[in-house]
Amino acid sequence: MYRTGIALLGTLLLLLAPLPRAHAQGQADAIPAFKKLDSIEARVQGCVTCHGQLGQGTANGYFPRIAGKPAGYLYNQLVAFRDGTRSYPPMNYLVAYLPDPYLKEIAEHFAAQRPAYQPAEKAPADPAAEQRGLLLATVGDAAKGVPACVACHGKNLTGMDPGIPGLAGLRTAYIAGQLTRWRVGERKAADPDCMKRIASRLSDADIAAVAAWLSQQTPRADASPEPSNLVRMPLACGSQR
C-alpha cells in the first residue's frame, strides 16, 4: 500500500516536474526521463547520459550504441565490468555491486531496443583508406589471416547471437580504441579469444581504416542480430559457446 503510495507520489512529482529541456547539442534523449518508477526504464537511468535513453548512443563518440546488441554479449560485458576483467573505471564503478540476474535483465532490456541510428560521423576523405576499410570489413585479408568483419558480425553488421556485438552505429574512436586494446591485451574475451587473434594481425593503419569505414555504415533500424551459426564462423570464438 505504502509502496503504491510512493509510486503514485512519484508519478505525481513526475507530472509536476518541468519537462527536461533539450540540450543545444540535441541530446534530449540522453537526459534522465521515464514514465513509471517501478520499471526497468526507470532503473537504467544510470546508463542514459552516456548510452542514451534507448541505448542508441550519444554525441560523444567513445560511448557505444548498445541498443539491439545480442543480450548475451551485453551480459558478458556487464559481468566483465563488474568483476574487473574488462577495465573501464566509470563502468567498473557503476556496476560493481549488482547481482547477475539484474545485469541479465539490463542486458535483455537494451538488446530489445531498436532506436534509429544516430547520423554517421563526417569522415575525412581518404580514398585509399576507404578502400582498405571496405576490403577488411567485407572480404578480409587472406594474406594476413584476417577474416572479414561481416563473416561474424553479420552481413548488416548487426552482430550474431548470443555473443557477437553489432558494429553498426559505433563511432571511429570507440572501434579503434577497442581493437587497439585487444591487440595490446587490455581487452579480452572468453577463450578461444578470436578477436585477439584478429586484432594482433592488424596494423595501426588497418585499424584506423576499418574503424572509419565501419562508422559510416547504417543498417535498417529494426535489424536484429543474426542467429547463431557456428558452421560458417572462420575462427572459433569462446563467447559463442
| Residues lying near other proteins in the complex (CB under 8 A) | 6, 9-10, 13-14, 16-18, 20-21, 23, 27, 30-34, 37-38, 42-50, 60, 83-85, 89-90, 92-99, 101-102, 105
CB of 21 to other proteins, least distance (A): 5
CB of 61 to other proteins, least distance (A): 11
Which residue, 101 or 127, has its beta carbon nearer to other proteins?
101
Amino acid at 93: Y
Which residue, 20 or 192, has its beta carbon nearer to other proteins?
20
Q: How many CB atoms lie within 10 A of CB 48?
A: 19
Which residue, 38 or 121, has its beta carbon nearer to other proteins?
38
CB of 205 to other proteins, least distance (A): 29
Which cell is 88 given? 573501464
CA distance 107 to 101: 10
8 Å CB contact between 228 and 161: yes
Which cell is 121 given? 560521423
Question: Nearest to residue 172, comparing CAs of 212, 229, 226, 129?
Answer: 212
Which residue, 93 or 192, has its beta carbon nearer to other proteins?
93
Q: Omega before 162 cis (within 30°)?
A: yes
Which residue, 43 or 201, has its beta carbon nearer to other proteins?
43
8 Å CB contact between 240 and 189: no
Which cell is 69 given? 546488441
CB of 162 to other proteins, least distance (A): 22
CB of 181 to other proteins, least distance (A): 17
